[in-house]
Amino acid sequence: MRRLAIFLGALMVLAGVVFAALERAPVESWLFRRIAFHAVSQPKPVLAEKNELAVLFCGTGSPLPDKSRGGPCTLIAAGDRLYLVDAGIDSARNLMLWRIPLEKIAGVFITHFHSDHIGELGEIRLQTWVAGRNKPLAVYGPPGIERVVGGFNEAYALDAGYRTAHHGAAMLPPDAVAMVPRPIDAGTVLELNGLKVTAIKVHHDPATPAYGYRFDYGGRSIVVSGDTAPDQNLTTAAHGADVLVHEGLSPEMVAIMRDALAASGHPRQAKIFHDIPPYHTSPVDAARIANQAQVRLLVFTHIIPMLPNSFAERLFLHGVSDVRPDGVEMAHDGLIVRLPANTTGIRESGVP
Ligand SMILES: [Zn+2]
Ligand SMILES: [Zn+2]
């Protein structure tokens, strides 16, 4: 079988060489043409069918640099409408690499204004417009969202002007490019075409107010915690949800890193590692919250610290199975969790 595959491969390359010689084109050109036509003719991924709710993890990291995890980014699909929760560094890059139809992003929900959650808002603004978004993009968030959105609009204004001048207003209409800030209080913030979005006040002082979000659609539900210490509001609001997407910080691993930094003459970084645990949630506490809220599946994101291998991942989850033996998942960039309408099914896959 393997020999046959090698033979067929060699035959194809030989055919390419002959074809290229006849066409007087370099063989690289012939090969690139084949690859390019194949690549761009692939259908774009469908994240959710009609009435289906789904989540795509477009960034599962934190401010700590991690080659395998982008900054915080969670994409919710309610049928063919897409909503982004946070736009950390690499959000736009990951979504473009996976060929997600960015023009279908109908709104962005920001949990709070720590830089790891907003760093790529400017690129989301630009790339959704380039992909075909034809009206301004609503960006929901706590009071203060006006300053954040206004700043990104201003920072990207010259760029947008160049692009309209270059490609034409028919393709890149200047009245569609802007993001529009939508300051919100906790409670129901959007009800549209069967989708209900609820903002939940969580505890992440001094970044206040900070929100988590609950999405209900097609009889299914997903709750995204945002950054938070263990919080009763979140536990209450997540009651009975199908999926709880929760941040997780391992106090044990962060303490080890703090000690290593202090012992090796890095007092500034050691102080940061000393300061961060109180406004985040340990994996064991998140498991308790998931149990109290009676959610079907708990998925960890915003992973702190970075987990370079399965050994580190086991340490991160140490003690979780004692509290919650089943229904726990580690998110990774590209994980998709789909919830078909009016069922109890949960289907997991990766981006193609
Ligand atoms: Zn964060
Ligand atoms: Zn934060």
Beta carbons of 285 and 298 less than 8 angstroms apart:
no
d(CA 90, CA 321): 31
* Lookup result for tokens 């800030």: 181
Q: Are strands 137-141 and 105-109 parallel, antiparallel or unpaired?
A: parallel
pLDDT(100) > 60: yes
Mean pLDDT value of segment 87-113 = 97
137 CA → ligand 1 middle, Å = 23
> Could you say which ligand is closest to the alpha carbon of residue 248?
1
Phi, psi of 234 (to 5 degrees): -65, -45
114 CA → ligand 2 middle, Å = 5
Query: Would you state the pLDDT for residue 339?
Result: 98
Q: pLDDT-based confidence at 136, cuts 50/70/90?
A: very high
Of 298, 260, 304, the C-alpha closest to 282 is: 304
Question: Would residue 159 be called left, alpha or beta, if left means φ above 0 and alpha means ψ between -120 and 50 degrees?
Answer: alpha
Share of the chain above pLDDT 90, in %: 88
167 CA → ligand 1 middle, Å = 37
Query: Would you state the pLDDT for residue 13?
Result: 59
326 CA → ligand 2 middle, Å = 28
Interval 144-154: pLDDT, tens? 999 999 999 99
d(CA 233, CA 133): 35
260 CA → ligand 2 middle, Å = 24
142 CA → ligand 1 middle, Å = 15
Name residues with Cβ closer than 5 Å to ligand 1, which is an ion: 114, 116, 227
Query: Would you state the pLDDT for residue 8?
Result: 58
Length of the chain in residues, anyone?
Answer: 352
Q: 179 is written with which tokens?
A: 């993001």
Residue type, 151: G
Interval 29-47: pLDDT, tens? 999 999 999 988 988 888 9
Interval 294-333: pLDDT, tens? 999 999 999 999 999 999 999 999 999 999 999 999 999 9
288 CA → ligand 2 middle, Å = 21
From 66, 90, 116, 285, active-site residue? 116
Q: pLDDT-based confidence at 119, cuts 50/70/90?
A: very high
What pTM was estimated for this model as a whole?
Answer: 0.92
Q: pLDDT-based confidence at 26, cuts 50/70/90?
A: confident
* Lookup result for tokens 């309610």: 78
Interval 53-75: pLDDT, tens? 999 999 999 999 999 999 999 99
Of 342, 338, 341, the C-alpha closest to 47 is: 338
Interval 197-213: pLDDT, tens? 999 999 999 999 999 99
170 CA → ligand 1 middle, Å = 38
Interval 239-286: pLDDT, tens? 999 999 999 999 999 999 999 999 999 999 999 999 999 999 999 999
If residue 223 lies in a helix (H) or strand (E), which one and from where to where? Answer: strand 220-224
pLDDT(174) > 60: yes
> Could you say which ligand is closest to the alpha carbon of residue 301?
1
Catalytic annotation on 116?
yes
Q: The domain 54-350: what is its CATH number?
A: 3.60.15.10
Q: Where are the domains of the chain?
A: 2-34, 54-350
> Could you say which ligand is closest to the alpha carbon of residue 86?
1
Of 225, 244, 216, 237, the C-alpha closest to 341 is: 216
88 CA → ligand 1 middle, Å = 9
Query: Would you state the pLDDT for residue 44?
Result: 87
Q: pLDDT-based confidence at 22, cuts 50/70/90?
A: low
> Could you say which ligand is closest to the alpha carbon of residue 116?
1
- As a whole number, the mean pLDDT across the chain is 94
> Who contacts 328 (Cβ-Cβ below 8 Å, separation ≥6)?
287, 290, 297, 298, 300, 317, 320, 321
* Lookup result for tokens 């919710």: 76
Mean pLDDT value of segment 224-250 = 97
* Lookup result for tokens 């982004």: 84
Q: pLDDT-based confidence at 16, cuts 50/70/90?
A: low
Mean pLDDT value of segment 173-189 = 98
> Could you say which ligand is closest to the alpha carbon of residue 202?
2
206 CA → ligand 2 middle, Å = 9
Mean pLDDT value of segment 149-160 = 98
Helix/strand/coil for 143: coil
d(CA 289, CA 332): 21
pLDDT(15) > 70: no
Q: pLDDT-based confidence at 191, cuts 50/70/90?
A: very high
The DSSP symbol for 210 reads E
Beta carbons of 283 and 303 less than 8 angstroms apart:
no
> Could you say which ligand is closest to the alpha carbon of residue 88?
1
256 CA → ligand 2 middle, Å = 21
